[in-house]
Structures are given as C-alpha cells and as structure tokens.
Amino acid sequence: MSDTIDYRAVLADLKAKRAVLDYAITGLEALISGESSSVVPNSGETPVGVPIQPDTFVGLNIAEAASKYLRIMGRGAKSTEQIADGLNRGGLNCTQSSVSAILRRNNNSGEGDVIKIGRGLWGLEEWYPGRPRRSNRQGSDESE
C-alpha cells in the first residue's frame, strides 16, 4: 500500500508558514524603528499597512519583492504601477515595464506565487484558489 504525497499541498503549507514569518519579521522591524502604531491587523492574522522602509526589498529580485509587497499591502489585487512604485520605495530600483514583464513571464510559466488577476492587476495565488495562471488568449502581448 503506497501513500502518495501531495507536494502542492506541502508547498502551499510551507509558503503560508513563510508568510507568517515574513509578517512577524516586518512587524518586529516596524516595532524596532518606532513605527509599530502603523501596523494594522487584518482579520487578526495579517498585519497590513506596515510602512515600506527604504531597504524593505534590498537583496530580493522583482518576483520575490512583488510577493512581499503584496503580503505587506494585504489582500486585494494591485496594479503593476502600484507594485513598481512600492518596490522603488523599498529600495529595489525597477521600472513598471520590467515588473510587468517578469510577473507576466512567471505567471505564464507557473513560477512564483504572484498571479495575474486582470489587465495589469496582480495578486497572490493563495488569495485566488483555483484561478488559472495562464492567459486564455494565446499569443496575447497585451500591455500591463
């Protein structure tokens, strides 16, 4: 009798645990910097409104930083422009077009946890369970 392991579920569980740790770290950083009053809990588990510091995204690539940005901002799709602006404020120099290109590529290839929600809108895969990642339009080169 062979037990099969649902690696997708294991990965989702690990990502959720990582997200909780990221929130705790961000909250502690805000507390240390004296900005803890700006941490607003979202349904008791996700601190949103944590200020983006000039070094929040230093050392991260665009896909990682976009994921962290979305977690910080809380549930809800954000535009490519909002993400690029946030990443720049957090110390990751990038353009709106580079953010769009990387998020689109990752969405289409199934990489990362940021998915396309609508034209130029992005969210975390865990917020939209079952939503297909790839665009239904083959060869679509729409502007983000």
Q: Please write the tens of the pLDDT for every residue from 14-42.
A: 776 776 677 677 777 767 766 544 444 44
Average pLDDT of the residues in 99-108: 95
The pair of three-digit structure tokens given for residue 46, joined into one six-digit string: 């996700």
Q: Residue 78 in 3-state DSSP?
A: strand
The domains of the chain are located at 7-127
Residue scoring higher pLDDT (76 or 3) = 76
CB 63 within 8 A of CB 106: yes
Q: Which residues 6+ apart lie within 8 Å of 23 measured at CB?
A: 46, 47, 71
Classified by CATH at the fold level, domain 7-127 comes out as Phenol Hydroxylase P2 Protein (3.90.56)
Q: Please give the share of the chain, as a percent, with pLDDT higher than 70.
A: 74
CB 75 within 8 A of CB 42: yes
State how far the Cα of 29 lies from the Cα of 107, in Å rounded to an integer. 30
State how far the Cα of 6 lies from the Cα of 21, in Å rounded to an integer. 23
State how far the Cα of 84 lies from the Cα of 41, in Å rounded to an integer. 24
